[in-house]
Structure 1
Amino acid sequence: MENINEYIESGILELYVLGQLSPEEKLQVEEMAAKHTAVKAEIKDIERSMELFAEEHAVEPSEYLRSKILGSLVTNLGDDRIFTKAHTRTEEIFEDDEREADNIVTMPPRQITFFKYAFAACLTLLVISVYGLVTMYNKLQDTNTQLTAMQLDKQKIANEASFKDKELDIYRDTVYRVLRLKGTAKAPTAAMTLAWNTINKKIILDMKSMKLPGHDKQHQYQLWALVGGKPVDLGVFDAGNSIDTSGMKEMKAIAVADAFAVTIEPMGGSVNPTITEMVVSGASK
């Protein structure tokens, strides 16, 4: 109902009654009047108001002016050229009778055009404001993305620094025995460093410095300890692009070991090492 009231108060119905609408706008008003009785009733009220206004301010022409006009119309009804001259003469009569013309009251025009321009200006400002808000939002999103990237870089640097500190602590701590395993005939260029804590028996692998041959996704590296001639499983790990390369990796602890070795085994590890797949090995002393 509020939309109908806004439509009625927009001024378009007055323009319709005055005949100042385009054919498309006129058709729209007629469709609205057919759908809504309030619009139809408002049109009738506007027509009635204009008729009352015209009747109230009507000026009765003088008898002389009436006779002149009617006489010219009757005399020149059949001759367009004469009618044109008579029409010009009629205009002269109107000009001569300025006193009567001065008594005619003209109905003040409605300010519909002003409201149309005002509405267009408001709509333009609204579009500009929305565009500004969208632009500001996009810039804010870009700023947030940059801040997130900076925070990730900062966290990465902090993690690397923490790793370096931990690595240095291990290498400086006398309770750790640093062992360097060398490549075998299968992988002559392979190498790996591990630290063995002689107190709590922990085994730490240096994932950053290791150089091991690649393997497919169905296999993993497996660390072994040789104790009294028997292999003991110390766990599996990945290298290359895996998450294990983020720093130091802790393996299973062991109290006594004569040597260490790494083999390539099926995913999850094996019960016994595959000797032909040994890539690095080294004594514990």
Structure 2
Amino acid sequence: MEEIRAYIESGILELYVLGDLSAEEKLQVEDMAQQHPQVKAELDEIERSMELYADLHDIEPAPEMRDRVLNSLLTNLGDDRNLKTVQHVNGNNVTAQNFRPTQPEHNREARVVPMAQTSISSGFYKYAFAASVLLLCVSVAALGIVYKRLQYSQQQLVSLRLSEQKFTRQVSQMDTELSVFRDPSYQFIRLKGTPKTPASVLTVAWSAKKRKVMVDMHDAELPVIDKDHQYQLWAIADSKPVDLGVFDSAVADSADMKLMKSISTAQAFAVTIEPRGGSINPTMNQMVVMASL
């Protein structure tokens, strides 16, 4: 459980959601999510949090903009021939199309409005409407650009925060590793290769007082294994093998010193190649390194 919690808190799940991992690292995260329900649940929660963050900061145009556009359409989409012309006759306002005047025949020419005025008014409304539509298009385009830039800035901010958290964890891990080398209660056991793999070596740091066991991944030289297998560390205590946990190659593991399971007494340490997830008992013909105390 401590190993799974440390993996969740490493920040790799957040980088997976943001797409900031290599293809090999993505496969590792997906394998971990399939094997461990805690990792899968944490990954789903991070994805939901990212979606909620985007929804909360979504920007929509103001409702007043929609009303302005509709009012402009209603005002300017009328047919020019239906415009009402008002003529002042004998001190009375007369609507040219809505009712017929009752004045004598010889006065009717005075009530005819020149078409030039109607054309000027119609042209003005057309140009005003075209200008309004152009202004609306420019405003929407500008709003879209600002919105995209804001989203990009928010993503950059999240990425910077995750990077800062990752850097902080790395510094903390380095302090822990340095404390191991400074602590006199630790002894460093050099595990050498077996006849099966004579070139293999691995260093184990063990503190019987603190019941802590750590594997030095930086200087490890172990045979290459496929993704379906893992290395498993064993301690021989009271002539019985004790499981101390599994680990991957140094390339897949970003830590220089990997914390394993606790043990207070041991007469020897060994590493075998086991199916992913580990075995109950060691596969003796797959032993790659060992050392007696």
Change over 3 Å in CA distance of 1:126–1:278 after alignment to 2: same
Counterpart pick for 2:162 among 128, 133, 152:
152
Change over 3 Å in CA distance of 1:279–1:245 after alignment to 2: farther
Q: How far apart are 1:104 and its partner, in Å?
A: 4.0
Counterpart pick for 1:124 among 125, 128, 134:
134
**How many equivalent pairs are there?**
212
Query: Which residue does the alignment assign to 2:214?
Result: 204
Query: Which residue does the alignment assign to 1:47?
Result: 97
In the TM superposition, what whole-angstrom CA distance separates every residue of 1:153-200 from its partner, at most 9, and x where no partner exists?
A: 322222221111110011111111122322333333322222211212
Which structure's CA Rg is the greater one? 1
Change over 3 Å in CA distance of 1:215–1:11 after alignment to 2: closer
Contact 2:212 2:263 in 1 (8 A): yes
Question: How is 1:246-285 mapped onto 2 (pairs within 5 angstroms)?
Answer: 246-284=255-293
CA–CA distance in structure 2, aligned partners of residues 269 and 135 of structure 1: 53
CA–CA distance in structure 1, aligned partners of residues 237 and 184 of structure 2: 23
Change over 3 Å in CA distance of 1:15–1:153 after alignment to 2: same
**Does residue 12 of the first structure (1) align with residue 78 of the second (2)?**
yes
**Does residue 192 of the first structure (1) align with residue 202 of the second (2)?**
yes
Q: Secondary structure at the match of 2:264?
A: coil
Contact 2:72 2:129 in 1 (8 A): no
Query: Which residue does the alignment assign to 2:106?
Result: 59
CA–CA distance in structure 2, aligned partners of residues 148 and 7 of structure 1: 43
Counterpart pick for 1:114 among 124, 128, 139:
124
Amino acid at match of 2:236: L
Contact 1:239 1:245 in 2 (8 A): no
Q: How far apart are 1:125 and its partner, in Å?
A: 0.7
In the TM superposition, what whole-angstrom CA distance separates every residue of 1:135-158 from its partner, at most 9, and x where no partner exists?
A: 111222222233333233322222
Change over 3 Å in CA distance of 1:56–1:207 after alignment to 2: farther
Counterpart pick for 2:228 among 218, 225, 238:
218
Amino acid at match of 2:263: I
Query: Which residue does the alignment assign to 1:134?
Result: 144
Q: How far apart are 1:228 and its partner, in Å?
A: 4.5
Q: Which runs of 5+ in 1 are unaligned?
A: 19-44, 62-102
Change over 3 Å in CA distance of 1:5–1:155 after alignment to 2: closer
Q: Secondary structure at the match of 1:47?
A: coil
Amino acid at match of 2:97: E
Amino acid at match of 1:127: C
Change over 3 Å in CA distance of 1:187–1:153 after alignment to 2: farther
Question: How is 1:155-166 mapped onto 2 (pairs within 5 angstroms)?
Answer: 155-166=165-176
Amino acid at match of 1:210: A
CA–CA distance in structure 1, aligned partners of residues 128 and 157 of structure 2: 43
CA–CA distance in structure 1, aligned partners of residues 147 and 246 of structure 2: 49
TM-score, normalization by structure 2: 0.60
Contact 1:57 1:105 in 2 (8 A): no
TM-score, normalization by structure 1: 0.62
CA–CA distance in structure 1, aligned partners of residues 279 and 79 of structure 2: 90
Contact 1:190 1:279 in 2 (8 A): yes
